[in-house]
Structure 1
Amino acid sequence: MSRAEVVESVRPVSPLWTFGLLRNELVTTFRRWRTLALLAVLAGVPILVGIAVKIETGDGSSPGGGAGGGPAFISQITNNGLFLVFTALAATLPFFLPMAVGVVAGDAIAGEAGSGTLRYLLVAPAGRSRLLLTKYAAVLLFCLAATLVVAVSALTVGALLFPLGDLTTISGTRIGFAEGVGRALLIALAVAASLIGVAALGLFVSTLTGSGIAAMATTVGLLITVQILDQIPQLHALHPYFFSHYWLSFADLLREPVYWDDLAKNLGLQALYAAVFGSAAWARFTAKDITA
């Protein structure tokens, strides 16, 4: 740590300054063309799914032939456009959403180092711990924003192409439209929370290199590898410890009553990954020799 960093680390920093640092980080993140392109792709997935279902059911047939893997939401879209929200989240969660988060998280520290701005950020009265926490908070807010982009796009397309009304849950009971929208919001929050582990992993990888591209590629590669391992039956004993294992547990929010077991396991697992890789990122970043 340089003499300037030591002096700044003992200088008290006001909460308003910290909020300003987070605001600037969010503005920088969401102004990047790469971020906007990722959000545009995520918004486009529900549009493509909705149009595909509309075309396929134009002759009165059922979408997907009434079969398919994962939560059986797609067969209900023609009856209620709200199911497009659940279908879009189920379609984007295995790859598109975590890939977008992995790109943003992987670039958080490594991107600053690669562009030569990290050292100047540390000269400001931020401190390494505060800067790292601000970066992680910005990535988590991106997780929420990306998930809401998918949900809002799906709800808009669903309302334009299909009827809306009371919702039939997976358990066969019916709930009102307002409660259905509330369940959709809860599901979106659950999906965003499912990305906490990926965000922490990406942030840790970002502290290991000075190349943003390398950090992003490594994070996405690890994401794909973990999901492949989660599908190998011989590794079933390890499956509950993979961050992606309980991702589709959000479907339990559409049961009556709601099944909370897998949802709680998912949140606990994400918290564990955040604690482990967040601590590893802090240990690495605070001891790292910043030369760029």
Structure 2
Amino acid sequence: MTAATAITEVLDPAVWRARRQAHEQLVDGWLATHLARRRDGVKHPVHDFLFTYYSHRPAQLRRWHPGAGVLLIDGEPARDYVAADGGVLLDPTLLAKRAEAVRWIRDLLAATASRPAQLGCFGMHEWAMVYRQTQQEVRHNAWPLRLSPAATAEVVEDRGVRCTHFDAFRFFTAPARPLNVHQPSRELQPVLEQPGCLHANMDLYKWAYKLSPLVPSELVTACFALSREIRVLDMRASPYDLDALGFPPVRIETPEGRADYAAQQRDFATRAAPLRAALTAHCDALLTLPAP
């Protein structure tokens, strides 16, 4: 198959250059403060997560891609792109190399979407990550805990832990793991992941960038924007006192705080659903493209 036969959409120069510029301006707005902090050696317990836990580098996030099969008229060949019919498009062989990963991501997204949202965890995963640790031992030890270590442990023991997300569970302290109702593993991820989980919804950004450059960058940035908002709730509901950073606590140790958390969790699940559906649809489309 030639590159030309892989074309599913054609974009004129004015269209794709405008999309690229809009993408770069959006991403630059997010990156400015992060890059300034990184240059000055300043850590941020909320926003750094999107650039440290997630492996997509700032320069990768900033680079615009139209997705597989899109011909950019008057575009010039560059990394991952090949010439075709007066322009360039993504090298069709990229999909063949990544088909197995695309299929795994698609199946995980679909399985997650098929389940009802569970809204009873109340963000206890962050508490389980500091359970029975001293202030010096906790991950963000530059920031104080809202409660004493003993009181923090008491909240964990009284409320219990119902985390379904392996990549949160693996950061639990050793004594916290047996307290979790579930025992997530990488193998159980497709079985346990559910759409009410904050981390599963933040991870839409991870699946989007892992599918990049095969999916449009606009979808990647939409997932990033949602992940950025969810991370704020994640840390506001944590045991850390981040009021000085402008993040008042969601006090999940109280009935009012738990109700607030569940309401916001439900809203994020609703907003994540169309992004998860869009990623799934892109995976389905990619998997039906003819092999080069």
Structure 2 length-normalised TM? 0.36
The structure in which a higher percent of residues are helix is 1
Normalization by structure 1: what TM-score? Answer: 0.36
